[in-house]
Amino acid sequence: MEMVNIKINGMPLSVPAGITILEAARMHGIDIPTLCFLKEINEIGACRICVVEVVGMRNLVAACVYPVAEGMEILTNSKRVFASRKTNLELILSTHNRSCLSCVRSGNCELQKLCKDFRIYDEAKYDGEKPESDYDDSAVHMVRDNSKCVLCRRCAAACAKWQDVAVIGPNNRGFNTHIGTAFDQNLGDVACVSCGQCIVVCPTGALAEKDQTKEVWRALGDPSKHVIVQTAPSIRATLGEAFGMPIGTDVEGKMVAALRRLGFDGVYDTDFAADMTIVEEAHELVERIQNGGALPMITSCSPGWVKYCEHYYPEFTPNLSSCKSPQQMFGALAKTWYAEKMGLDPKDIFVVSIMPCTAKKFETQREDESASGYPDVDVALTTRELARMIERAGMNLATLPDEEFDAPLGSSTGAGVIFGTTGGVMEAALRTANDWLNGESDTVPEFHEVRGIEGVKEATYKVGGLELNVAVASGLKNAKKVLESVKSGEKNYHFIEIMGCPGGCVNGGGQPVQPASVRNFVDLKSLRAAALYKNDEAKTLRKSHLNPVVKEVYETYLGEFGSHKAHEILHTTYKKRSHF
């Protein structure tokens, strides 16, 4: 690797040729502030917060895009640099809605932190005319408040470059520039897939999930309601971040304790329903292979992916597994089997889910998701919403004891927990299919080829005399690559796992927001996923079909895998949607 010699703030350093000043500084413990920069997808140098002084140059340069060169001397904290950054911040604030006290991002806002660092308070130095701004709450899953937008374009970059959806972007020019949809339609009227990736990269409160905590507090206070909660696999690996814990900390036991203290009548694990999904999905796959069904079969656990398929690849809707997602399976069983077992009326059961995904809010309102005659799930909260409930209740998550999920819907296997990361659904399905078709085994085969955070992974496994070709994709841009390879005939897969968000649910649009200073330089996906694999390894049971409660549900209620009753309760349908 070619190296160049530079100086930063008088320190002689040797750094790789071609990297940016921002990267070089970071390598040596110097954080240069940024606002618009997102590594690899939004390197545009637009906000000018990262400006630095290069000795001998008249103008300041944007560190996020300016490459180092031999002999370069750089000043990151000179009087001139500080003055420029402060002026740029004051100009941004001149058109910004400064209602910080009531903003959902207060305390976790990149603009707010920059203003604190540069001692800018509510001076309104350049106050004057403000552009007209939209407030759009038309979408099921989120709200947009352009009065808080800083035009960094990070949301547009995530939507276009990670997700290949591109339903939002900059409209108009100059003073009237704003982020919006084509022809400034409401977000609820365009082919947004509800993934929420725009929210987790937004540096301010311009984008946020549609908060439903009031509905949950109301239900918890209603004595006529039996309020139960389920937590998705990935939440245990991310919730701790909202309370200052290291990325990748598994807080399963403390999360259960917090939920119990919030007043839920039952604290359960979506991993149970993930195990249910596997046995139904594995049965469906075998049936399709043996009976000439639509192949490749594609997983249906990610509602953002399902909505993307319906909008942009409707010809593949027959290939989607008809299994409901674990969230919806849990709710369906809670209001049928569980209701019967507990002697409850389904109308009195209020099911809350804690999800990594804003698209889960959309999923609760889909058609054919009401097995009991009532919605399978009443409210889906994000990890962030749960964190706010815990804070409001005055709990310190770190000091809570570790407690276990309630029975019976808290029973799960290691296969269920790895659903939270890309490749996890595929590996869980393969563990069960391998036992069913190759014979029961006490060993737990680990399918390492489908692990990892790469956007597309593929492998071939011998299962019961069949050469099973599988593919795993995460992030919708990668989903497109896989689907196009299938359409062209280039690839011949039997089974495909697709998760809507890059890296899977651990990086979902409802997860704790990390600032760009972390997101650009820390591998969030791998650290969070590692916690799930560690949890899996610690489990006594690691194959979904061995879950004793899953066995009980089939023996006492559903009958066989894939039975008529199982289809009525655990399966769903899809629709072809326009993307215009």
**pLDDT for 580:** 62
Average pLDDT value for residue range 433-437: 86
Q: Does any domain span residue 575? A: no
Dig out the tokens for 193 from the structure.
């897939």
Same domain, yes or no, for 255 and 378? yes
Residue 75 belongs to domain spanning: 3-93
Output the pTM of the full model.
0.96
Same domain, yes or no, for 174 and 278? no
End residue of a domain, out of 39, 68, 93: 93
Same domain, yes or no, for 48 and 110? no
CATH classification of the domain holding 159:
3.30.70.20
Q: Does any domain span residue 579? A: no
Domain total of the chain? 3
Q: Is the peptide bond before 445 cis (omega within 30 degrees of 0)?
A: no
Q: Does any domain span residue 530? A: yes
pLDDT digits over 316-351, tens only? 999 999 999 999 999 999 999 999 999 999 999 999
Same domain, yes or no, for 149 and 12? no
Same domain, yes or no, for 522 and 384? yes
End residue of a domain, out of 61, 93, 125: 93
Q: Does any domain span residue 580? A: no
**pLDDT for 434:** 87
Same domain, yes or no, for 55 and 188? no
pLDDT digits over 413-422, tens only? 999 999 999 9
Instruction: Say if strands 142-145 and 207-209 run parallel, antiparallel, or are unpaired.
Output: antiparallel
Same domain, yes or no, for 331 and 401? yes
For residue 520, pLDDT over 90 is answered with yes
Average pLDDT value for residue range 76-82: 97
For residue 124, pLDDT over 80 is answered with no
pLDDT digits over 138-194, tens only? 999 999 999 999 999 999 999 999 999 999 999 999 999 999 999 999 999 999 999
Count the neighbouring beta carbons within 10 Å of the beta carbon of residue 187: 23
For residue 122, pLDDT over 80 is answered with no
Q: Does any domain span residue 400? A: yes
Rounded Cα distance between 504 and 472, Å, is 10
For residue 130, pLDDT over 90 is answered with no
H/E stretch holding 89 reads helix 79-93
Average pLDDT value for residue range 118-137: 85
Contact 199, 507 (CB under 8 A): no
Nearest to 145 by CA among 108, 167, 178, 112: 178
Same domain, yes or no, for 125 and 219? no
Contact 376, 364 (CB under 8 A): yes
**pLDDT for 127:** 82
Dig out the tokens for 44 from the structure.
């545009």
Instruction: Say if strands 349-355 and 297-298 run parallel, antiparallel, or are unpaired.
Output: unpaired
Q: Does any domain span residue 98? A: no
Contact 458, 482 (CB under 8 A): no
CATH classification of the domain holding 53:
3.10.20.740
pLDDT digits over 445-490, tens only? 789 999 999 999 999 998 877 889 999 999 999 999 999 999 999 9
Same domain, yes or no, for 190 and 279? no
C-alpha distance from residue 163 to each of 157, 159, 198, 389, 577 (Å) = 9, 5, 10, 30, 18
Nearest to 359 by CA among 278, 274, 300: 300
With cut-offs at 50, 70 and 90, classify the pLDDT of residue 273.
Answer: very high
End residue of a domain, out of 208, 231, 246: 208
When the pLDDT of each residue in the chain is averaged and rounded to a whole number, the result is 96
Same domain, yes or no, for 162 and 220? no
Same domain, yes or no, for 458 and 553? yes
Q: Does any domain span residue 107? A: yes
Q: Does any domain span residue 405? A: yes
Helices 424-438 and 270-291, axial angle in degrees (round to 10): 60
Phi and psi (nearest 5°) for 316? -95, 0
Same domain, yes or no, for 237 and 264? yes
Contact 203, 326 (CB under 8 A): no
